[in-house]
């Protein structure tokens, strides 16, 4: 993972993460059953969106998630052959794409292959802010002693995303493999 040093980009990342956290707080207050899948889908529907799974194994387009913006709203296209836990991250990332970039003419059809490093970084920050709000993540990390499996279960996202969040918050460091 490339270290970001540009102050403007760092501020944009922090902003995207705060938007994600704020939207999560609002959506949680609307849906108090602590079911991430349910309140994520409810939130998307309330703001004019729809989730339409890619279900054609033979499709030429292969991506984790796509976003289509129309004059009437938007559609998020997760891969139907991925796990529901991974869907939580990718759907939230596409929601971030919509919220952060909906006025950008280049996001009418927004797929993983169309991302720039900057848009990818910002939509990731949004997703991490939404799925693992910083204050709650730090509290649970301490409570669970940084146990990746317990954190992944609590936040309902894959362990590899938990590791990245821990790295981003400097809770852990990953040593690079030594080459011979």
Q: HEC string of 70-103?
A: ECCEEEEEEECCCCHHHHHHHHHHHHHHHHHHCC
Mean pLDDT of the chain: 78
pLDDT for 60 beyond 50: no
Q: Beta strand 73-78 with 65-70: parallel, antiparallel or unpaired?
A: antiparallel
Tokens 């003419």 sit on residue: 105
Mean pLDDT of 161-172: 90
Token code pair at residue 158: 């894959």
Domain ranges of the chain: 7-131, 132-175
Instruction: Please state the pTM of the whole predicted model.
Output: 0.76
pLDDT at 5: 58
Q: Nearest-CA neighbor of 67 among 87, 95, 37?
A: 95
Mean pLDDT of 96-122: 70
Higher pLDDT, 32 or 44: 44
Mean pLDDT of 103-114: 58
Query: What's the pLDDT band for 177 if we cut at 50, 70, 90?
Result: very low
Query: What's the pLDDT band for 151 if we cut at 50, 70, 90?
Result: very high
Is residue 27 within a helix (H) or strand (E), and if so which, with residue range?
A: helix 7-30
Higher pLDDT, 19 or 58: 19
Query: What's the pLDDT band for 114 if we cut at 50, 70, 90?
Result: low
3 state SS for 103-141: CCHHHCEEEHHHCCHHHHHHHHHHHHHHHCCHHHHHHHH
54 DSSP 8-state letter:
B
CB 52 within 8 A of CB 91: no
- CATH says 7-131 is which class? mainly alpha
CA atoms within 13 A on the CB side of 7: 0
């Amino acid at each position: 993972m490339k270290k970001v040093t540009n102050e403007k980009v760092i501020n944009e990342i922090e902003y995207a993460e705060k938007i994600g956290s704020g939207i999560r707080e609002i959506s949680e207050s609307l849906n108090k059953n602590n079911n991430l899948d349910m309140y994520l889908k409810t939130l998307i529907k309330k703001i004019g969106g729809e989730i339409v799974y890619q279900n054609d194994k033979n499709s030429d387009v292969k991506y984790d998630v796509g976003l289509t913006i129309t004059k009437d709203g938007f559609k998020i296209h997760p891969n139907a052959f991925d796990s529901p836990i991974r869907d939580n991250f990718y759907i939230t990332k596409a929601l971030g794409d919509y919220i952060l970039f909906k006025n950008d003419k280049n996001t009418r059809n927004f797929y993983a292959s169309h991302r720039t490093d900057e848009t990818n970084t910002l939509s990731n920050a949004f997703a991490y802010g939404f799925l693992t709000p910083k204050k709650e993540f730090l509290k649970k990390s301490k409570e669970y002693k940084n146990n990746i499996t317990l954190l992944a279960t609590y936040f309902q996202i894959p362990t590899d995303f938990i590791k990245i969040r821990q790295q981003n918050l400097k809770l852990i460091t990953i040593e690079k493999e030594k080459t011979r």
